[in-house]
Amino acid sequence: MTMNQDEMRRHAQQAANDLLCDVNGARAVLVATPDGFDLAHAGALPLDAGRLAAMVSSMAALGDAASREAAIGQPHCMVVDSSAGRLVMRSVQWRGEPLVVVLLTDTAALLGMVLNALNGVERSLGVA
C-alpha cells in the first residue's frame, strides 16, 4: 500500500468515526471505493464490510445508469428506506479520488440531518 493510500485510509477512518458520533440514530458507517473495496468502517453492527462495499458499488452503478437514462445529471446520493432502518450512500471526493460513504441508521434518524452530515463529510474530506 502506498503512502497516499495509507493516508486515504486514515482520513476515511476518521470520517467514519466522526459520522458515527455526529448522527443520532447512526448504527454503522462504511467508506468504500467506487469499485467496491472497503477502506474504513465504524459502528456496532456486525457487518461484512467487504461484501457491503461490493453491493454499494453495484447500487451506485445502477443509480448512475438510471440518472443518465432519466437525464437528471450525476447522482450524489441514494437512500434505501427499509422497515428497520435506512442505508444512505453519498458519493464524495478525497483529493480528487472518488469515494462512497454509506451511513446505516435506525428509523428514528432524521433524513435531513443524515444528508447534512454526509455533506459535511464531503467538505471535511475535500480539504484533507
CA-nearest of 51, 44, 81, 9 to 89 is 81
Q: Domain ranges in the chain? A: 3-126
Kindly state the cell numbers that stand for 1.
500500500
Residues 105, 88: Cα–Cα separation, whole Å = 8
For the entire predicted model, the pTM comes to: 0.89
Q: Which residues pair with residue 26 across a beta bridge?
A: 105
CATH, domain range 3-126: 3.30.450.30
14-44 pLDDT per residue, tens: 999 999 999 999 999 999 999 999 999 999 8
Kindly state the cell numbers that stand for 63.
443509480
Name the average pLDDT for the chain. Answer: 90
Residues 75, 5: Cα–Cα separation, whole Å = 25
Residues 25, 74: Cα–Cα separation, whole Å = 28
